[in-house]
């Protein structure tokens, strides 16, 4: 399979998409680091997307500066997740760029028997993110996430949730936590396809997932941010 240098995907449902300008910024910026100008490509690829049905297109930068778009039917949306702690150091080569590590992360998730996602940690044991999702959790009335100086993928959905938190006047904090320190807390794994998926159970460490008391309400507000394709 051809190596992916950059990739970006987002849910298109009945011609609506969340955070398209953020996906554009992330994809174009990542391509620019390879010396490829992707502005016109992104605009033209979006213009070709169907305005009916449910789709999960992927835009790609391949070796040689080749830009391609793949129109894929959107998979079914899932619910709460069983999450396993990855027993080893973060194996990603380019954690801040979506694309180069997708095959590796997919393999990690396939090996996680009995789990839906795999949680990665940093060299100090602090939580980072999962294979295909970003991590947030609640401490009291504060929405928390790992410090952004850590090797994290710039998440469009996290950026949108920060906006929602500002509108709701909910404090957001970047906090370094070990997996054990998430014990009993409501935790979410989020991405552009599913939005918010609460953690149903943890494995690989002694921790219990807290009840998902806020997830459904925030998911409704997140879905309401979808706008028509321009």
pLDDT band at 143 (very low <50, low <70, confident <90, very high): very high
Helix (H, G, I), strand (E, B) or coil at 5: coil
Q: Which CATH class is domain 81-223?
A: alpha beta
pLDDT, tens only, 189-211: 999 999 999 999 999 999 999 99
Chain-centroid distance, C-alpha 79? 15
* Cα atoms in the 13 Å half-sphere on the side-chain side of 129: 21
Domain ranges of the chain: 6-70, 81-223
The reported pLDDT for the residue numbered 113 is 85
Beta strand 142-145 with 172-174 is parallel
What is the mean predicted confidence (pLDDT) over 121-131? Answer: 97
Q: For the range 176-179, what are the long-range contacts, defined as Cβ-Cβ under 8 Å and sequence gap of 24 or more?
A: 176/124, 176/126, 176/146, 176/147, 176/150, 177/126, 177/127, 177/137, 177/144, 177/146, 178/121, 178/125, 178/126, 178/127, 179/85, 179/119, 179/121, 179/125, 179/127, 179/204, 179/205, 179/207
Write out the H or E segment, with its range, that includes residue 217.
helix 215-223
Six token digits for residue 139: 């401490």
Residue with the bigger pLDDT between 117 and 114: it is 117
| Residues counted in the chain | 230
- Distance from C-alpha of 18 to C-alpha of 125, rounded to nearest angstrom: 32
Q: What is the pLDDT of residue 230?
A: 73
Query: pLDDT tens digits for 1-34?
Result: 568 999 999 999 999 999 999 999 999 999 999 9
């Amino acid at each position: 399979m051809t190596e992916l240098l950059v990739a970006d995907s987002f849910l298109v449902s009945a011609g609506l998409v969340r955070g398209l300008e953020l996906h554009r910024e992330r994809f174009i910026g990542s391509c620019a680091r390879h010396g490829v100008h992707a502005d016109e490509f992104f605009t033209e690829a979006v213009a070709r997307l169907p305005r009916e049905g449910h789709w999960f297109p992927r835009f790609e930068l391949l070796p040689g500066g080749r830009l391609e778009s793949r129109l894929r039917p959107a998979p079914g949306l899932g619910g709460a997740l069983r999450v396993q702690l990855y027993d080893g150091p973060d194996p990603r080569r380019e954690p801040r760029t979506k694309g180069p590590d997708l095959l590796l992360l997919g393999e990690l998730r396939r090996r996680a028997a009995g789990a839906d996602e795999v949680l990665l940690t940093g060299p100090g044991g602090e939580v980072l993110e999962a294979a295909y999702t970003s991590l947030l959790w609640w401490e009291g009335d504060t929405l928390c996430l790992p410090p952004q100086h850590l090797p994290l993928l710039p998440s469009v959905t996290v950026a949108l949730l920060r906006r929602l938190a500002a509108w709701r006047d909910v404090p957001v904090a970047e906090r370094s936590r070990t997996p054990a320190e998430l014990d009993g807390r409501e935790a979410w794994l989020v991405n552009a396809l599913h939005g918010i998926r609460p953690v149903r159970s943890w494995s690989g460490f002694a921790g219990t997932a807290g009840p998902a008391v806020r997830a459904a309400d925030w998911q409704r507000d997140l879905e309401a941010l979808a706008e028509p394709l321009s």
